Amino acid sequence: MELAYYSDYAVRLVNTEEPARGKDTLTSVEAVRALFGANQSAARRATDADVTRFRSVRARLRAVFEAADGGDETLSVDLLNSLLLEFPVSPQISGHDFRDDDGRPLWHMHLADHPSNATAGYAAIAAMGLAFHLTEYGVDRLGLCEAAPCRNAYLDTSTNRSRRYCSDRCATRANVAAYRARKRLEAERAENTGRTADSTQPASADGDRRPGLRGR
């Protein structure tokens, strides 16, 4: 498993809340366990107490994305470093059960956490994964969706650093909104232009601005 894979842990946790919409799906131990995905052994460690602890880590991770999205690289790194110090991990070489054609394990780096609770284990993996992504691709690859009021976190892996939205759905919604806004502006400009042209027509003796009526 590539270490950068773990950065998705951070995104999944941050996106359990949509502050602008007042939505929060992190309300039960079942929701906490769902964040672990296939890592069911780690998920089983979660208790009701982890709901509050997960929310605290979530706020700190969102702050990392907010600082990066706002262009404050130093703050983003400082916030992430504080998480790395508080929730350490140990890298280990792992092969699992996968084998290549020669019958050898497919060795890869794995992050082994030594948590006192489920939150500590998840936070350690999420912070380390995000750190690998940040140092590999740059702080500006950590973003928040521009399709208001979404503001979900995302990791930009595009070749030209062009990603602005967390999903295709938000990108489509934003493009439709922008198109409608342009059409409204064009309509308003056309209406104003018409009014201006009408107001500049020469007036007849009786005040009628229609051309060709003077002298009739």
| DSSP codes of every residue in 116-154 | SSHHHHHHHHHHHHHHHHHHHH-GGGEEE--STT---EE
108-113 vs 142-144, strand pairing mode? unpaired
Tens digits of residue pLDDT in 3-57: 667 899 999 999 999 998 899 999 999 999 999 988 888 899 999 999 999 999 9
Tens digits of residue pLDDT in 93-137: 877 666 667 777 877 777 776 667 999 999 999 999 999 999 989
Residue 189 CA to residue 181 CA, distance in Å, equals 12
Least confident of 49-58, 118-127, 162-171, 190-199: 190-199
The single-letter code of the amino acid at 192 is N
Q: Give φ, ψ of 198 to 5 degrees.
A: -65, -40
pLDDT average, residue stretch 64-83? 97
pTM of the model: 0.76
Element (H, E) at 90: strand 89-94
pLDDT of residue 85: 95
What are 132's two structure tokens? 């690998």
Tens digits of residue pLDDT in 74-90: 999 999 999 999 998 88
Q: In terms of pLDDT, which residue wins out, 176 or 58?
A: 58
Band (pLDDT 50/70/90 cuts) for residue 206 is low
